[in-house]
A and B are shown apart, each in its own frame.
Chain A
Amino acid sequence: MELPEEIRNAAQTLGRSLREEDFMRSYLKAVEEFVADLEARKLEEQLYATYNDLLARQQAGESLSREETQSFYELRRRVQSHPLISARENELRLIKPYLAEIADEISARLGVDYTALARS
């Protein structure tokens, strides 16, 4: 959707202001470290790919074997316990209340919950 320039600028300003916030620093650093690690990235990509594959097959009516589900849970455990991924997730958890505060400012102007309408 083509946005009016004023709205586009305001959204960019908000995004940049958020990036410069002190509370974002540790999170962005954790993301940077994760992105720089090929093994961590591949592991997470593998989890999403496996999940999507199993879900699609299940939705198509296929019964998944015990080995397949066990293997998925093991992969998920490895992803969740990977130090870079768990560090990133932990930092993300810490910034959420601040992000919610900022979103509240938008919602207060709108009179409805911005986050409910903006999520895809």
Chain B
Amino acid sequence: MDSPINLSPTQTAVKTDAREAAQTLGTLLRQMPEYEAFLKALQAVNSDPVIERLGAQMRFHRDALQWGRDDGQHAAELERLEMELEALPLVKEYRQAEAQVRQLFQAVEEIISQEAGVAFAANARRGGCCG
């Protein structure tokens, strides 16, 4: 029986070596204590009812601003809610864990980019308008 046709033009363009190397790196990063702490903090933030309520309120005010319904109150209220959110202990813990992971990933990124000869993460991002 014939092999199925590969309809993805990019799937064959990248060698297995780089894919495997990326998978290995991803697996190792996943096991780092900084990353485990980050995931734990992220889950805590995502399942907290107070944060969920604040998030919904913030979305309401952001939408109002986006649709030009601003009498000055929406911007002020949004700022107040953002401050309230950032002051929560869970959010502070999350920000701290996030900063640690960013530091870790940026150190990794520096090595990849230096070896590859291209700024890897900056050019590998999906979406956005410019690239």
Residues of chain A touching chain B, judged by Cβ–Cβ distance below 8 Å, are 1, 3-4, 6-8, 10-24, 27-28, 31, 92-93, 95-120
Contacts and interface: CB of A to CB of B under 8 A. Distances in A.
A114 B32 CA distance: 14
Contact of B111 (A12, A19, A115, A119): A12
B56 interface: no
B6 interface: no
A15 B13 contact: no
Given A15-B111, A105-B22, A115 B121 contact: yes
Nearest to A103: B124
A1 B104 contact: yes
A92 B18 CA distance: 18
Contacts, number: 165
A19 B112 CA distance: 10
Contact of A7 (B19, B25, B116, B124): B25
Q: Which 10 A-B pairs have the closest CB atoms?
A: A15-B115, A109-B26, A105-B22, A103-B124, A99-B124, A118-B121, A18-B116, A11-B111, A106-B26, A14-B21
A94 to B, nearest CB: 11
A93 B111 CA distance: 22
Q: Which of B14, B22, B124 gathers most chain A CB within 10 Å?
A: B124
Contacts of A99: 118, 120, 123-124
15 contacts: A7-B25, A11-B25, A11-B108, A12-B115, A14-B18, A14-B115, A15-B112, A15-B116, A15-B120, A17-B15, A23-B13, A102-B18, A103-B121, A105-B19, A106-B22
Is chain B's interface secondary structure helix, strand, loop, or mixed overall?
helix
Contacts of B111: 3, 8, 11-12, 15
Contact of B10 (A101, A106, A109, A119): A101
Interface string B96-131: 001001111111110111111110111111100001
Contacts of B122: 115, 119
A23 B12 CA distance: 11
Contacts of A111: 30, 39
B112 to A, nearest CB: 4
Given A18-B18, A116-B125, A7 B108 contact: yes
